[in-house]
Homo-oligomer: A and B are copies of this chain.
């Protein structure tokens, strides 16, 4: 088969959905996982970390969605170069399959832009991210997928047992704490600090704020202009605490996020529009909750975001 072609599917395929188990022992039960990554910029450290995951690689399929344009072209080339080695037929540790979607849209805000985190830019930016995540999800989720791991392209360090560790909690959706390594000038030493503020427990203030908002307004986390007094998982971390400590969450971040496939199959997606005044991954947690699937956070279990 030439690149870009697909093997002709057999005329009829039957899938019994109760044969697709989703358990706390996905390795023992040979459960398939789909790792989905929206990719605007490629980091070698991301791929190094991915390849080191100890979950059986023949159970892992990868899906990427990459924007159109110069930056996306570069990311595609860099990804492709690493894939060629990893997926070599001689490599016993290669992944089950890889799908790369190239969007027909350029990103609204380039990765370089300093104010991509500015409050004013967030709604448009996160709506575009939602559409990218949905397109990736809707086109790669298969009838035999048990798990979906959302993993951003700038997550460069996780425990190798990330998938097994998260799955062992047996939760519909579960999110580790996303931190960042940096050089602490005061200590003149490497240190860690919180990075992702999208995993939180709701607050009366935020609910009141939402109650007064117009239908198109959204609440965003981590902006001084909009104090929500939500309890952020980022600040619940205890570096020496039990890594298995769980906390119930109302919003989740998507830098690393494990989801049982039936949560998505029921319809949970990333709302590109205000959904209970939330969008993207935070809106996803709200939608999953509407479907009966509550989010769990692991405040003392860490993954690390690239430091630009």
Is there contact, CB below 8 Å, between A83 and B12?
A: yes
Quick check: is A227 within 8 A (CB to CB) of the other chain? no
Is there contact, CB below 8 Å, between B10 and A267?
A: no
Number of copies: 2
Which residues of chain B come closer than 8 Å to A262, judged between CB atoms? Answer: 135
Considering only CB atoms and an 8 Å cut-off, how many residues of chain A contact the other chain?
57
In the complex, chain A residues 1-60 whose Cβ is within 8 Å of any chain B Cβ: 1, 3-18
Is there contact, CB below 8 Å, between A16 and B102?
A: yes
Quick check: is A139 within 8 A (CB to CB) of the other chain? yes
- Once the chains are docked, how many angstroms separate the CA of A266 from the CA of B7? 27
Q: A9-B6, A10-B6 are in contact. Are A131 and B267 (CB under 8 A)?
A: yes
Most chain B CB atoms below 10 A, which of A80, A87, A100? A100
Is there contact, CB below 8 Å, between B135 and A265?
A: yes
- Once the chains are docked, how many angstroms separate the CA of A143 from the CA of B97? 14
Is there contact, CB below 8 Å, between A141 and B139?
A: yes
Is there contact, CB below 8 Å, between A100 and B12?
A: yes
Which residues of chain B come closer than 8 Å to A143, judged between CB atoms? Answer: 99, 101, 139-140
- Once the chains are docked, how many angstroms separate the CA of A272 from the CA of B265? 11
Among B100, B140, B267, which residue has its beta carbon within 8 angstroms of that of A270?
Answer: B267
Is there contact, CB below 8 Å, between B17 and A101?
A: yes
In the complex, chain A residues 282-308 whose Cβ is within 8 Å of any chain B Cβ: 290-291
Taking the closest CB of chain B, its distance from the CB of A103, in whole angstroms, is 6
Is there contact, CB below 8 Å, between B265 and A17?
A: no
Which residues of chain B come closer than 8 Å to A264, judged between CB atoms? Answer: 138
Q: A143-B139, A266-B131 are in contact. Are A11 and B98 (CB under 8 A)?
A: yes
Quick check: is A134 within 8 A (CB to CB) of the other chain? yes
3 closest Cβ pairs, A-B complex: A18-B104, A134-B267, A7-B7
